[in-house]
Amino acid sequence: MTKLTDKEKELVRIGTAIGSNCIACIEYHIPQARKAGLNDDQIRLAINIAKGVKKVPGELVLEAALNVLKKCDNELKKVLVLCTGNSCRSIMAEALINHLLGERYLAYSAGVTESVVNPFAIKILEEIGIETSGLRSKNVSEFLLRDDLDLVITVCDHAKESCPVFLKPVPKVHIGITDPAPYSDRVDAMAFFRKTKDEILAKVIDYLKDL
């Protein structure tokens, strides 16, 4: 039997909750799905599939599910982690924030220029049980017209100095994180990426916990 990922488990649970007309279950599992790393499009797809396969669509339950999504959007603080290439530090920070603080924050990441996600960053995240299938390198231009960001965290000096102007004024904080990318070709590369992961936990995660 194929082992389900955390994301797949939460999708199944959302579908089951809708199928059983359990509004309380939906209110619980949608935030859990976000914490597992699912985005809104994936959650809405699960909701619509669950609605479509049922003989009785349960419109009130479906409406409740969508309302939970809207409520989550309004309640979660949206954080953008910005670095130079969005390949290591900011990607790892995005995943760690959503995994550890998903009940309070919805994190995104981007780079001053987009690149490719470093495979060692993926390995480090998977090493501690974080789902990585949805992670991709993004350019900060994708976020400039958003008016719902609550905080921008820059994790490298270049991003701090090149941080663009967003549609809505957004508070910014600089939390310098060591870049492990220069060590990618070394046989002990994972050790450097683990140190960066620990640095993110000690600096970024603890900072957001205390806000």
Catalytic residues: 83, 156, 163
Edge to edge, the sheet with strand 77-83 lists 105-111, 77-83, 151-154, 172-174
167 in Cβ contact with 145 (< 8 Å): yes
Q: Tokens 């130079």 — which residue?
A: 84
Radius of gyration of the chain (CA): 18
Query: For residues 178 and 173, what is the distance between their CA atoms, to the nearest angstrom?
Result: 16
Q: Tokens 């981007």 — which residue?
A: 110
Query: For residues 120 and 31, what is the distance between their CA atoms, to the nearest angstrom?
Result: 28
